[in-house]
A and B are shown apart, each in its own frame.
Chain A
Amino acid sequence: DGGITQSPKYLFRKEGQNVTLSCEQNLNHDAMYWYRQDPGQGLRLIYYSQIVNDFQKGDIAEGYSVSREKKESFPLTVTSAQKNPTAFYLCASSIGTGRYSNQPQHFGDGTRLSIL
């Protein structure tokens, strides 16, 4: 079955540590996205990528970094500069933007990150 796989499901970060969240899709989608969700709030965009080897900052990119070396993979690193990283992180993909943007975004099941 086609879909988006996020791992791990739960992740704990120590003080001063960088951690990387994995996102893989086998939908052959060009566009991929990372969102953060805090309790009782909607999703906020961290980074997005419209094509391989290209990505743009979203609304809350500070303290995060990404790479897009392969079409199917879009890992997110939460760096030690992110002072409040505890949240639910969701990865999504879509066929593309522009004339393809009227196709829905597909989401993974998320990674819950907590501070030790």
Chain B
Amino acid sequence: KQEVTQIPAALSVPEGENLVLNCSFTDSAIYNLQWFRQDPGKGLTSLLLIQSSQREQTSGRLNASLDKSSGRSTLYIAASQPGDSATYLCAVGPIENQGGKLIFGQGTELSVKP
């Protein structure tokens, strides 16, 4: 059974710092991996989607990498800002569901201090 784990559960950094959020999964048979952002009391916003054949995706100050063989993904945030404060969730799409069904980690709550 696929399990997704995110470490750390919470992270506090000063503004301007570069940071890395970690996501690990137990079964490498994935269709894709997605990173989402969730603000308090809100739904999820998709940040980056990495297909199983890709190694990384970039959007602005965000870079996500995928290493299927080791069951790991990282989300790199450059030059963090207070507006980046939110919970970040990763989710994998199992290959047997052709990516439609997602399995989520518990999230990392990020606080960026001015």
A and B interact: yes
Give residues in A with beta carbon < 8 Å to B: 4, 6, 31, 33, 35, 40-45, 48, 50, 58, 90, 92, 94, 96-98, 101-110, 112
Q: Which residues of B contact A105 (CB under 8 A)?
A: 34, 44, 46, 102
A109 adjacent to B105 (CB under 8 Å): no
Q: Does B98 contact A (CB under 8 A)?
A: yes
**Contact across chains for B98 and A104 when beta carbons are under 8 A apart:** no
Other A-B pairs, 6, CB within 8 Å; known A42-B4, A42-B106, A43-B104: A4-B43, A31-B100, A33-B102, A48-B101, A101-B99, A104-B49
Residue from A6, A40, A45 within 8 A of B101 (CB atoms) = A45
Residues of B within 8 A of A43 (CB): 44, 89, 91, 102, 104
Return the chain A residue nearest B42 by Cβ.
A109
B45 touches A107 (CB 8 A): yes
Residue B51, interface by CB 8 Å: yes
Interface residues on B, range: 20 to 34
Establish whether residues A94 and B42, one from each chain, have CB atoms under 8 Å apart when the complex forms.
no
What are 25 A-B contacts defined by CB distance under 8 Å? A31-B100, A33-B101, A40-B9, A42-B89, A42-B106, A43-B44, A43-B91, A43-B104, A45-B103, A48-B101, A50-B100, A90-B43, A97-B97, A97-B99, A97-B100, A98-B99, A101-B31, A101-B98, A102-B31, A102-B32, A103-B49, A108-B43, A109-B43, A110-B43, A112-B41
Residues of A within 8 A of B6 (CB): 42
Top 10 nearest A-B pairs by Cβ distance? A101-B99, A97-B100, A42-B104, A104-B46, A107-B43, A107-B44, A43-B104, A98-B98, A42-B106, A109-B43
Residues on the A chain within 8 Å of B93, using CB: 101
Do the beta carbons of B89 and A97 come within 8 Å of each other? no
Residues of B within 8 A of A (CB): 4, 6, 9, 31-32, 34, 36, 41-46, 49, 51, 89, 91, 93, 97-107
Bound Cα distance from A98 to B36, whole angstroms = 21
CB–CB B44/A90 < 8 A: yes
Q: Write the chain A residue with the least CB distance to B105.
A: A42
CA distance A105 to B47 in the complex (A): 11
Which chain A residues lie closer than 8 Å to B98 at the CB level? 97-98, 101
